[in-house]
Structure 1
Amino acid sequence: MEKLNTKDLVKKYNFKFTKSLGQNFLIDDTVLDDIVESAEVSKEDFVIEIGPGVGTLTKELLMKAKKVCAVELDSELIPILKNELASFENFQIIHKDALKVDFNEIIGDEKSVKVVANLPYYVTTPIIVRILNENYKFKSLTIMIQKEVAERIDAEPNCKEYGSLSVLVQYYCDTKIIRTVSPSSFIPQPKVDSIVIRLDKLNKPRVDVKDKELFFKIVRQSFNMRRKTLRNVVKSLNLLVDSNMEKAFNNSNIDLKRRGETLSLQEFANLSNSIYEIIN
């Protein structure tokens, strides 16, 4: 079965791109193949695709997956997708904003769930954060996103890319960068490079924390006050009286003069657990 040709479909339906929806459709078959291959989709997998465009990636996934559920916001694309993919009985389309969809309702009793998508740039971070924070039942996300965000996700301590998004994703997932994608692989061409990255959900979070909300509160504030010492960060949260400040840092074996960007996930966990024990 032939691949759908994105350029031909755009021309056939006289489709007009909507800039506000971050529409950049993939036209490079080698990238398409790399996404599908790295996602390791099989007939056991229920695949959720966010932002299917004209269905180029969708068709490749449909030939390998048990079922593909595509979530598309643009009403102009719905009839194109329905028409071009009408021959696939394992295709479902939901005309909704992916930030408002109840993914648990979509997933139902499915056991093996994978997210595969060329994510619209403007929703990249909110989608990732939502899928992780709301604890949806998925095995992996194989997504094409802007290079800058992928580098933040994959970053390690002591570099400018390392931030709260790095900690959030690595708390829940293993990360693996698959490949870089140039602007010429899309129509219209974006102004930045993209990266295909795979996130594999861990069986349990990477570090043990006594209070997840407290852990992420400290993480977020540490990067919101990036140039400040951890002492000032913790003080700004009004979690401890001054007399307990040194105790919290001593118990977690962390120098209170350090900055948050130098802490590993385990050190963030140690600090939040130490503070938790003092305040409870």
Structure 2
Amino acid sequence: MSIRSHASTKPAKGAAQGFSAEAKKHLGQHFLHERGIIAKIVQAVNPQPGDRLVEIGPGQGAITFPLLDKHGELTVIEFDRDLIFPLTEAARAHGTLEVIHRDVLTVDFTALARGGAPLRLVGNLPYNLSSPILFHALDHAAAIRDMHFMLQKEVVDRMAAAPGSKVYGRLSVMLQAYCAVTPLFNVPPGAFRPPPKVDSAVVRLVPRTPDSIGIADPKRFTEVVRAAFGQRRKTLRNALSGVADGTMIEAAGLRPDARAEQIEVAGFVRLANIMPSLSMPT
């Protein structure tokens, strides 16, 4: 369901942003309220005329309304039906808001962008769904210009980790293969109501152009990365048993006795790309 709220009059300068709502624990809700952090997020997004902004999980509108004040138009995706009416009503004073009442994992971003500019995604993502949302966005990366997400700091550290790091893993490889990942700044628990038990961070993801990604078969690449990190302590030869043999690993310029966390993203791309040509069974 999509609801559209049109602007009426602009609020007075310095007017309060957002509205009050009870956070629902089962939805992983933590509402951002710290004005300084909100301003830094809006500055990082820096919306320009013609941009197609889409916010995931607007909550009480802490980021929504400042973005509307700056840009005038915004689409938001909100699952909690209790937030729809107050969000729509409060938005009238800020700009034109389209509310999509759906689970974000069921939203077709490619269809949403069709016929217009690539999407710019923004959101304070629920921590219990952050990885599924990130992978869902990757499936539609060709329709997305960039993403600015607030996530658990531990997740952002994994997203941006380099080979050899203890937190370098499947998430690191999959995201870095398709996007440039840039951590921007940390956010303390006190910036939210209720405060989470962990630190948060804001990260920027910019999808790479198809020719710069260089992955011949995305499904095969996903299989290789998943298998490699499925048993982190094993060597590539053992972890990829049934997916790739030692000869194939060496043909990709990798050591069969290396472990997945030692392999750079380009190495996984090379390995996945030679597999069809060597007729390796799935």
Counterpart residue identity of residue 143, structure 1:
F
Counterpart residue identity of residue 34, structure 2:
D
Identity %: 32
Classify 1:206/1:154 alpha carbon distance in 2 versus 1 (closer, same or farther; 3 Å): farther
Classify 1:194/1:205 alpha carbon distance in 2 versus 1 (closer, same or farther; 3 Å): farther
If the length of structure 1 is used for normalisation, what is the TM-score?
0.90
CA distance, structure 1, for counterparts of residue 207 and residue 175 of structure 2: 9
Counterpart residue identity of residue 252, structure 1:
A
Counterpart residue identity of residue 248, structure 2:
A
Q: Secondary structure at the match of 1:34?
A: helix
1:103 pairs, out of 102, 106, 109, with 109
Counterpart residue identity of residue 229, structure 1:
T
CA distance, structure 2, for counterparts of residue 265 and residue 206 of structure 1: 13
**1:97-120 superposed Cα distances (whole Å, 9 cap, x missing partner):** 111122233323221420011111
Q: Secondary structure at the match of 1:157?
A: coil
Q: Say if 2:146 and 2:204, in contact at 8 Å, map to a contact too.
A: yes
Runs of 4+ in structure 1 over 6 Å off: none
Q: Secondary structure at the match of 1:76?
A: helix
Q: Secondary structure at the match of 1:105?
A: helix
**1:116-147 superposed Cα distances (whole Å, 9 cap, x missing partner):** 11111122111110010233511110011110
CA distance, structure 2, for counterparts of residue 214 and residue 106 of structure 1: 27
Q: Which runs of 5+ in 1 are unaligned?
A: none
CA distance, structure 2, for counterparts of residue 246 and residue 57 of structure 1: 50
Q: Which moved more, 1:133-142 or 1:251-260?
A: 133-142
CA distance, structure 1, for counterparts of residue 271 and residue 65 of structure 2: 47
Counterpart for residue 254 of structure 1:
254
Q: Say if 1:45 and 1:66, in contact at 8 Å, map to a contact too.
A: no
Q: Secondary structure at the match of 2:240?
A: helix
Counterpart for residue 14 of structure 2:
2
| Residue 182 (str. 1) matches residue 188 (str. 2) | yes
Q: Say if 1:170 and 1:206, in contact at 8 Å, map to a contact too.
A: no
1:70 pairs, out of 76, 80, 84, with 76
| Structure 1 residue 3, shift from structure 2 partner | 4.9
1:224 pairs, out of 230, 234, 243, with 230
CA distance, structure 1, for counterparts of residue 146 and residue 140 of structure 2: 15
Classify 1:178/1:106 alpha carbon distance in 2 versus 1 (closer, same or farther; 3 Å): same
Counterpart for residue 146 of structure 1:
152
Classify 1:69/1:255 alpha carbon distance in 2 versus 1 (closer, same or farther; 3 Å): same
CA distance, structure 1, for counterparts of residue 15 and residue 117 of structure 2: 28
Counterpart residue identity of residue 252, structure 2:
S
Q: Which moved more, 1:35-44 or 1:81-90?
A: 81-90
The equivalences for 1:12-51 within 5 A come to 15-51=21-57
Counterpart residue identity of residue 2, structure 1:
G
Counterpart for residue 269 of structure 1:
269
| Structure 1 residue 86, shift from structure 2 partner | 1.6
| Residue 160 (str. 1) matches residue 172 (str. 2) | no
Q: Secondary structure at the match of 2:105?
A: coil
Counterpart residue identity of residue 270, structure 2:
N
CA distance, structure 2, for counterparts of residue 31 and residue 239 of structure 1: 45
| Structure 1 residue 216, shift from structure 2 partner | 1.4
1:209 pairs, out of 215, 223, 238, with 215
| Residue 172 (str. 1) matches residue 184 (str. 2) | no
Counterpart residue identity of residue 259, structure 1:
R
Q: Secondary structure at the match of 1:99?
A: helix
